[in-house]
Amino acid sequence: MKKSVRIFWRLFFIGFVLFIAVILMANYGVFGKMPSIEELENPTIAQASEVYASDGTLMGRYYLPSGNRSIVKYKEISPNVINALVSTEDKRFYEHSGIDIKGTLRAIFSGGSQGGGSTITQQLALALFNKRANNPVKRVIQKLKEWIIAVKLERNFTKEEILALYLNAVAYPDNVFGIRNASKIFFQKEPSTLSVSEAALLVGSINGPGIYNPRRNPKASMDRRNLVLERMSENGSISSTEASQLKAQPIDMSRYKKPSEDVGYAPYFREVLRDELKKLLKDITKPDGSSYNIYNDGLKIYTTINPVMQVYAEEAVAAQAPQLYRNVIRQGFVRNGNVWNKRDNILDAAMKASDRWKNSAEDGLSDKEIRATFFEKTPMKVFAWNAERSRDTIMTPYDSIKYHRLFTQAGFMAMDPLTGEVRAWVGGIDFKTFKYDHVNINTKRQVGSTIKPLLYGEAVEELNYTPETPVQDVAQFFPGNGWVPAGKACGGGTMTMANALAWSKNCATAYIMKQVGPKRFTDFLQRIGVPTKVQPFPSIALGSCELSLFEMMWAYSMFGGRGFSTKPYFISRIEDRNGNVIKRFDYSANRREAISEATAYTMSRMMQGAVVKGTAAGLMARLGASEMAGKTGTTNDNSDAWYMGFVPQLLAGVWVGSDDRFIRNEGSGGFGGQAARPIWESFFKKVYANKDLGILKDEKFVEPPTMSNEAVSADPSLYVRDDSGGGPAAAGEDMGVGTEEDYMQNNNEYIGPESAPLPDDPNKKKQPVKDTSAKKEKPIGTQEEPKKKKGLFKKIFGKKDDKN
């Protein structure tokens, strides 16, 4: 053997041994961690976590762009997609075992000019476990790892499973991941029904989602689609005639629709849930010890939300909020712009917090330049109370800030008073425009007279007061704090405690606070579960303290919960992507005995006075309920309006107000009985009408077998006879609720809920049909629209070319 031949073979065997050694080193993780057999058998594709309602309705998803995918099986994918993929990316897919030697050699000797050598399985390996390296040396090592993983994938999966995994894992145009999402977004179809041309378009885009985006680069996308059709013809998947016909067809983008993250049920609730899940998942680990991620791990979160009640709640808010807004903008100090006098700091802060300011700053504009843009008229879409919840107009960004801040906000929550399960959660009037949640435990407002039942409840519990106990309707002096109420005339004389609560008498309530004591009352609030540390000022008897709607619901649960206060909870269980329960929740851990069952029953019956003839007069009769309890609340200057109420099976609370407390409804329409109560009433009217919900009108509060306090009369008139002359209530002088006709809107336009079924929910046929009964009955609100539209409001409601 010639020396040169010996050297050749020696170098060949040395190279071969080194190659094998490198392969082994790569396999054992010398060049970076390799997936285990278990990981290959259960490959983890980034997958969105899904949120479900109590009946299995898909409410929404949490995802990053790479995780927004719904996994489909091979049998759920059209053969057209499979044929397009194999014909274009790996025509010998069914012949090799992960590595196509012929294709690899062709790629090496042609320098890639005749196509790459990566098989579908290798591409899947890269998609599952790596990011493509840019460094040539690292890319060579990465390629070796891809070969190893590809061989292992072929050993652990069938060809069909590999194809499905690949199509679920890869990216498509517009940052869409997974064949199902791509099919739904581009064609509003399931992947099983994709046509040849549609399949060719999507498969063709995999090679370059940005380059072959049919929306942004239609010509490049069409050329790529036609190349896929040609290769399908060459591979025998379609005839040459069919390929030619399809190539001549334009790309149809008429069905393209990319969903917003806002789509789904209860958008405000889902944001609160997102934050709660992040906290919970810190203490829950996977079998390998790593933490769960709500954006990538495909968790299934089952909540207590009832989707029908959620829709009713959003409809109730949408029926009342337009009238509240009209009441605000009718006021002279709003129409002439004086409401913004000396408020420049608030508007400046709003400008700097806006996306417009942030985006301009990122573009390199100075503060002076950015500020100037806020005073230039520009076409824009603003929120409006109509069926579309928006309106196109021309105005300055500065005026748009003023415009949007004038809208009255609302918070609504419903829950089971016994278990604490949250059934409906509406954090504001429109999540897309106003993100701030007004139910959240951290959103605190003055509670007004809704605090009074808690004080009266303590008096019943600890001082043995009864509904008939006489109390003095006289202002009280508290050393070191002065008179409560301050500067308010009192009726004088005495009345029963039941009447004091029904008419929300401030002076009588101050008298009860005098007997209980401020410190004793704040200790009681802590004991029943209110998290906020309330300072022991005497004025808290009239609701000067700030609590969240969430906390008020928590506190009121002790009445409907037969003496037990229960923290509202909204997650029933969390499952991993394989359906294994990783965390289960129930109410028992958040339930504590706050008052006796006898006190709870006494207070429930005593609060019936307000809904019969007190500050929420006629409410129980209009709804036809056998028993009901409630309390209105209004704070000074009508900055906050509340209504808390419950029936034996359901508790609900409403808050109404503006984020800027100086923006308020100064008329009687801003009182709790007129601003907040109609939302509660509208919700319960629909709940009672829907027999499937199981909330029955004839249910009654359960009377304890033995009453530790004086027996409560079954006659509601005990709690509502006006032995004090009737009259005002609450910290903000609540003047009552008016008549039913006072809440009829002057137009019959139906404004639907924000919640809507997700288009790709497999259970959507089971979901509630949108209620349209509000079209037949007049929603809430009465007065005529102002005939003159001047200044800022003319810009919104007038013509686009208005020059004033």
3-state secondary structure of 483: strand
pLDDT score recorded for residue 722: 38
How far, in Å, CA of 751 to CA of 125, rounded? Answer: 50
pLDDT (average), residues 343-350: 93
Give the C-alpha separation, 198 to 252, whole Å: 9
| Residue 788, SS3 per DSSP | coil
Is 50 exceeded by the pLDDT of residue 788?
no
650: pLDDT strictly greater than 80: yes
pLDDT at 477 over 80: yes
H/E run at residue 358: helix 355-362
CA distance 761 to 70: 10
Cis amide leading into 259 (omega within 30): no
Cis peptide before 397 (omega within 30 of 0): no
Q: From edge to edge, which strands make up the β-sheet containing 422-426?
A: 422-426, 409-415, 650-657, 640-647, 629-634
Mind listing the pLDDT tens digit for each residue in 277-309?
999 998 898 887 888 989 888 899 999 999 999
Give tens-digit pLDDT for 584-595. 998 787 899 999
> Encoding tokens for residue 13?
């065997």
CA distance 285 to 293: 10
| Main-chain phi, psi angles of 765, to 5 degrees | -65, -20
- Bigger pLDDT: 122 vs 718: 122
- Are 540 and 546 a contacting pair, CB within 8 Å? no
Q: What count of other Cβ atoms lies within 10 Å of the Cβ of residue 381?
A: 12
pLDDT of 76: 94
Count of beta carbons in the 10 Å neighbourhood of residue 486? 12
pLDDT of residue 34: 63
Q: Are strands 300-303 and 49-52 parallel, antiparallel or unpaired?
A: parallel
Buried/exposed code over 86-110 (b: 16+ C-beta within 10 A; e: otherwise): bbbbbeebeebebbbeebbebbeee
Q: State residue 741's pLDDT score.
A: 38
Query: What confidence score (pLDDT) does residue 100 get?
Result: 72
* Tokens of residue 689, six digits: 């009408």
Token pair, residue 58, equals 């898909």
Q: Would you state the pLDDT for residue 129?
A: 60
User: Under a CB-based contact definition with an 8 Å cutoff, are residues 445 and 640 in contact?
Assistant: yes
DSSP 391-419: EEEEE-HHHHHHHHHTSPEEEEEEE-TTT
- Reported as half-sphere exposure (CB side, CA atoms, 13 A), residue 60 has a value of 26
If DSSP codes are grouped into helix, strand and coil, which group holds residue 722?
coil
**DSSP one-letter code for 531:** -
* Lowest mean per-residue pLDDT among 14-18, 475-479, 646-650, 672-676: 14-18
> Is pLDDT of 202 > 90?
yes
Mean pLDDT confidence for 705-727:
46
Q: For residue 91, what pLDDT is reported? A: 87
User: What mean pLDDT comes out for the span 188-205?
Assistant: 94
Query: d(Cα 274, Cα 294) in Å, to the nearest integer?
Result: 8
CA dihedral (746, 748, 749, 755) positive or negative:
positive
Q: What is the mean pLDDT of the chain?
A: 83
The whole-number average pLDDT for the span 127-146 is 65
Q: What is the pLDDT of residues 365-401, one digit of tens each?
A: 999 999 999 999 999 999 999 999 999 999 999 999 9
> Higher model confidence: residue 357 or residue 15?
357
The model's confidence at residue 145, banded by pLDDT at 50, 70 and 90, is: confident
Looking at residue 720, its pLDDT comes to 43
For residue 494, count CB atoms less than 10 angstroms from its CB and return exposed for 0-12, middle for 13-18, buried for 19 or more: middle
E strand residue ranges, 13-121: 49-52, 58-62
**Phi, psi dihedrals of residue 174, rounded to the nearest 5°:** 65, 30
Give the pLDDT score at 668.
Answer: 67
486-526 confidence digits (pLDDT tens): 876 787 889 999 999 999 999 999 999 999 999 999 999 99
State residue 409's pLDDT score: 96
Instruction: Give the three-state DSSP class for 512.
Output: helix
Whole-number pLDDT of residue 774: 40
Token pair 């992947």 in the structure block, residue:
191
Distances (CA, A) of 177 to 45, 52, 77, 202, 787: 10, 22, 15, 11, 52
* This prediction's pTM: 0.78
* Model confidence at 363: pLDDT above 70: yes
Count of alpha carbons within 13 angstroms of residue 35, beta-carbon side: 23
- Where residue 784 falls among pLDDT bands split at 50, 70, 90? very low
Beta partners for 569? Answer: 421
Residue range 558-569: average pLDDT? 95
Q: How many CB atoms are closer than 10 A to CB 495?
A: 22
For 25-29, 96-100, 305-309, 470-474, which range has the lowest pLDDT when averaged over its residues?
25-29
The answer to which of 225-234, 427-436, 538-547, 584-593 has the lowest mean pLDDT is 584-593
What is the predicted pLDDT for the residue at 615? Answer: 86
CA angle 86, 90, 96 (to 5 degrees): 110
DSSP symbol at 765: G
Please give the pLDDT value at position 597: 95
In this prediction, residue 760 has a pLDDT band, given cuts at 50, 70 and 90, of: low
Residue with more model confidence, 105 or 469: 469
DSSP state of 265: S
CB atoms within 10 A of CB 353: 10
What is d(CA 84, CA 202) in angstroms, rounded to the nearest whole number? 9
pLDDT of 128 over the 50 cut? yes
Question: Cα–Cα distance between 571 and 54 in angstroms, integer?
Answer: 9
Alpha-carbon dihedral of residues 272, 53, 175, 138, nearest 10 degrees? 80
Lowest mean pLDDT among 361-365, 468-472, 553-557, 762-766: 762-766
| Residue 748 pLDDT | 58
Which residues 6+ apart lie within 8 Å of 623 measured at CB? 681, 684, 685, 688, 697
Mean pLDDT, residues 704-711? 62
pLDDT of 22 reads: 65
Phi, psi of 716 (to 5 degrees): -60, -25
Give the pLDDT band of residue 133 (cuts 50, 70, 90). low
- Is the separation of the CB atoms in 528 and 488 below 8 Å? no
The percentage of residues in the chain with a pLDDT greater than 90, rounded to a whole number, is: 58
What distance lies between CA 197 and its chain's CA centroid?
Answer: 37
How many CA atoms lie within 13 Å of 358's alpha carbon, on the beta-carbon side?
5
Gap between the Cα atoms of 122 and 142, Å rounded: 11
Mean pLDDT, residues 63-87 taken together? 85
Residue 171 CA to residue 261 CA, distance in Å, equals 19
Nearest to 299 by CA among 65, 58, 574: 574
Question: According to the model, what pLDDT value does residue 42 have?
Answer: 57
The per-residue pLDDT for 522 is 96
Distance CA 226, CA 637 (A): 69
CA nearest 306: which of 53, 485, 625?
A: 53
Q: What is the pLDDT of residue 799?
A: 36
Residue 732 has pLDDT above 60, yes or no: no
Stretch 684-712: mean pLDDT:
85
Q: What is the dihedral of CA 187, 192, 195, 196, to 10 degrees?
A: 120
Is the Cα dihedral 481, 485, 488, 490 positive or negative?
negative
- For residue 128, give the 3-state DSSP assignment: helix
User: Is pLDDT at 452 greater than 90 in this prediction?
Assistant: yes
